[in-house]
Amino acid sequence: MKHTISVLLQNKPGVLSRVTGLFSGRGFNIESLCVAETLEPDVSCLTLVTRGDNNIIEQITKQLHKLIDVIKVTDIGDKEYVEREMILIRVKAEAGTRAEVLRVIDIFRGKVVDVSSKSYAVEVTGSASKIQAVIDILRPIGIKEIVRTGTIAMARANKA
């Protein structure tokens, strides 16, 4: 099963390598990984998507927690949460397809961020399934290149 794990860690050189080294050394897989500073500049937040049964996820969270530089580990999948990913897509946009591309991007609430005579670069944000959908739709038109950020996620606030 897919799990999204959020890790708060010390923002120091080598910390990311401790996390990735743990995954490669113990044979856990990483589907995506996203890391940046939090409000506190000496703390980073790392969002990681991985796959595994409950035992594996338990080991992953425990092993992450055991790293000295890791402050907090949350398996976001345990809760209600929002997730977002951003994709940049360079798609063929020639005379016959320019309007079509714009229509598709509009439907996905994306925007064009770079234009050339033969292509558009577009930006779309959303859940992993939305990102997959936009790729599927644009593929027949002709995708030249994509870059994805990987998922970031945040638990929803308590409803009370």
Partner 1 sequence: MKKITGSQAIVQCLHEEGVKTIFGFPGGAVLDLYDQLFNADIEHVLVRHEQGAVHAADAYSRVTGEVGVALLTSGPGATNGVTGIATAYMDSIPIVVLTGQVPTPLIGNDAFQEVDIVGITRPCTKHNYLVKKAEDLVPTIREAFHIARTGRPGPVLVDLPKDVVASMISYPEKKPIRMQSYQPTYEPHIGQIAKACKVILGANKPVLYAGGGVVLSNAHAELFELATKLNIPVTMTLMGLGAFPGSHDLCMGMLGMHGTYTANMAVAKSDLLIAVGARFDDRVTGRLDAFAKDAKIIHIDIDPTSISKNVKVDIPIVADCKYALTAVNNWLKTEKSINLEEAAARYQPWRDTINDWKIQHPLVFKDEGEIIKPQYVIQKLDELTKGEAIITTEVGQNQMWAAQFYKFDKPRKFVTSGGLGTMGFGLPAAIGAKIAFPNIHVIDIAGDGSIQMNIQELATAKQYNCPIKVAILNNGYLGMVRQWQELFYGKRYSSTVMETVPDFVELAKAYGAVGLRASKKSEVEDVIKEALATDNVVIMDFKIAREEGVYPMVPAGKATTEMLLV
Binding residues for partner 1, per CB under 8 A?
9-10, 13-14, 17-18, 21-22, 25, 55, 58-59, 62-63, 65-66, 68-71
Phi and psi angles of residue 31, each rounded to the nearest 5 degrees, phi first = -85, -40
Closest to partner 1 by CB, 21 or 147: 21
Closest to partner 1 by CB, 22 or 143: 22
Q: Quote the least distance from Cβ 106 to partner 1, whole Å.
A: 45
Phi and psi angles of residue 25, each rounded to the nearest 5 degrees, phi first = -65, -30
Q: Quote the least distance from Cβ 145 to partner 1, whole Å.
A: 31
Contact 97, 141 (CB under 8 A): yes
Q: Quote the least distance from Cβ 67 to partner 1, whole Å.
A: 8
Contact 27, 52 (CB under 8 A): no
Q: Quote the least distance from Cβ 74 to partner 1, whole Å.
A: 14
- 3-class SS letters over 102-125: HHHHHHCCCEEEEECCCEEEEEEE
Closest to partner 1 by CB, 29 or 59: 59
Closest to partner 1 by CB, 56 or 146: 56
Q: In sequence order, which ranges of 38-127 are alpha helices (DSSP H)?
A: 54-66, 98-107
